[in-house]
Amino acid sequence: MELEAGSCWLPAAGLGLLAAGFFLLPAGLELALGLLLLTLCLQRLLAAPLLILRAPHQVGYIPEPGISKRRAANEVRRRRKKGELPPVYPNGWYRVLDSQQLQPGQVKNITIFVPEFAKIKTWPTCELNCAVFVWFHCDDIDPSWSIPEQEEIQSGEWVYRGRTEHFVNCHIQEIPENAADIAHLSHLHAPSMLSGSDLRSTRASHWGFAQHDWKVEWNTESEPNKHCSRMLVNHAFYIFGRRFPLLDVHVVCRQVGPGIVYMLFNHSFLGRGIILHCVAPVEPLLQRVTHSIYYQANIPAIIPKFVLKAECIQFERDVMIWNNKKYISKPLLVKEDSAIARHRRWYTQFYSQNSPRFTAQLDSLDW
Ligand SMILES: [Fe+2]
């Protein structure tokens, strides 16, 4: 299901005028009013935030003919070889929802860390960057680090332009590890975003004349920010082998703990903004992943909405892999994959002796 929020509407008064026009107004005035309302409607539609919500079975599964996506997804999950998994719930801060999704005094049920914590407990929480976060530690230890404020979001200089939400059927560590898997970029993410997210057709499509190029570097940060790492991305776009420097984009992706990434965009004329990429385990092998975009208020909304849509397409290519792969605890890595080994070492800091491990009982029922 794809919802594009802020659907087009016509004010009741406007409808009245338009209706009256059929009977009373001269044809020219009637046309002008119609055009005015159409323009207002279009303006509102373009400015409304983009909202893309995907159901758990919707992305990254390939059903056999005659089988529904839901059934195909459940069969893949049942047959899945789990591998030797790390603990399933790392210690850290996790986003539960955006502030705007919770009105003052409102109560909402949130599913997270099922079913390990079906008991009454107090969760350390905080609200910043227009979102609400909870702290999870398997030994109930208080937060050892805090979530950095993004000043431009807090001050309102950057405004909300949309959100995507996906459910990914994999271990949580697989998702950030993507940043250190440099080699996969040219396979999965080089085909133009126009060729979509179905990996069976991205390379075969007639959009082959357009290609993305990614140059990436991944490194950890040192004390007192050893819970952070950075991926520096330089993106270039080629059409018929010719580079278009105006489409070069520089992105700094700062991972803060196991579940939050700040993706900072800086473009020469498309302006600055951020995608907050957040991962939270719903179940041991089911992750809720959200991307919320905030962008310079003076840049037309269509630009950040396009950026978010492009990110969504590229992300869904990864989902197709994550949903179907097996976690290999000791993979054969070549020299070019050295960042994966470094990433795994870095990520171990989020596990401790009592971190819950996967058991069949913790797995869920069918979707
Ligand atoms: Fe990827």
C-beta of residue 149 within 8 angstroms of C-beta of residue 128: yes
Q: Is the pLDDT of residue 17 over 80?
A: no
Q: Which domains does the chain have, with CATH numbers?
A: 50-362 (3.90.380.10)
Q: How far is the CA of 176 from the centre of ligand 1 (A)?
A: 9
CA distances from 200 to 60, 191, 197, 315 (A): 11, 12, 9, 15
CA distances from 333 to 232, 328, 339, 340, 364 (A): 22, 11, 10, 8, 32
Q: What is the pLDDT of residues 321-339, one digit of tens each?
A: 999 988 988 888 888 889 9
Exposed, middle or buried by CB within 10 Å (0-12, 13-18, 19+), for 305? buried
The larger pLDDT score, comparing residue 60 to residue 63, is at: 60
pLDDT level of residue 115 (50, 70, 90 thresholds):
confident
Q: How far is the CA of 207 from the centre of ligand 1 (A)?
A: 20
pLDDT, average across residues 21-42: 75
Q: How far is the CA of 37 from the centre of ligand 1 (A)?
A: 42
The larger pLDDT score, comparing residue 136 to residue 17, is at: 136
Q: Is the pLDDT of residue 272 over 70?
A: yes
What pTM was estimated for this model as a whole? 0.86
Q: How far is the CA of 234 from the centre of ligand 1 (A)?
A: 14
Q: How far is the CA of 181 from the centre of ligand 1 (A)?
A: 8
Q: In what order do the strands lie in the sheet with 131-136?
A: 92-98, 131-136, 125-128
Q: How far is the CA of 309 from the centre of ligand 1 (A)?
A: 15
Q: How far is the CA of 361 from the centre of ligand 1 (A)?
A: 30
For residue 160, the cross-strand partners are: 294
C-beta of residue 217 within 8 angstroms of C-beta of residue 234: no
- How many whole angstroms separate alpha carbon 341 and alpha carbon 346? 9
The pLDDT value recorded for residue 40 is: 82
The pLDDT value recorded for residue 20 is: 41
User: Is the preceding omega at residue 284 within 30 degrees of 0, hence cis?
Assistant: no
Q: How far is the CA of 62 from the centre of ligand 1 (A)?
A: 19
CB atoms within 10 A of CB 237: 18
The pLDDT value recorded for residue 363 is: 58
The larger pLDDT score, comparing residue 292 to residue 361, is at: 292
Q: Report angle CA 152, 153, 157 to the nearest 5 degrees.
A: 55
Q: How far is the CA of 229 from the centre of ligand 1 (A)?
A: 17
3-state secondary structure of 18: helix
Q: Is the pLDDT of residue 169 over 90?
A: yes
Question: Checking DSSP bridges between strand 158-168 and strand 50-53, what pairing results, if any?
Answer: parallel
Q: How far is the CA of 258 from the centre of ligand 1 (A)?
A: 17
The pLDDT value recorded for residue 304 is: 96
C-beta of residue 285 within 8 angstroms of C-beta of residue 360: no
Residues around ligand 1, an ion, CB closer than 5 A: 178, 318
**Helix locations, 225-337, DSSP H:** 302-322
Q: How far is the CA of 330 from the centre of ligand 1 (A)?
A: 20
Q: How far is the CA of 184 from the centre of ligand 1 (A)?
A: 7
The pLDDT value recorded for residue 121 is: 75
Q: Which residues contact 66 (CB under 8 A, 6 or more apart)?
A: none
Question: Checking DSSP bridges between strand 210-220 and strand 260-267, what pairing results, if any?
Answer: unpaired
Q: How far is the CA of 27 from the centre of ligand 1 (A)?
A: 55
Q: How far is the CA of 167 from the centre of ligand 1 (A)?
A: 16
pLDDT level of residue 258 (50, 70, 90 thresholds):
very high
E runs forming strands in the chain:
50-53, 92-98, 125-128, 131-136, 158-168, 210-220, 228-239, 242-243, 249-256, 260-267, 271-283, 286-296
Q: How far is the CA of 66 from the centre of ligand 1 (A)?
A: 30
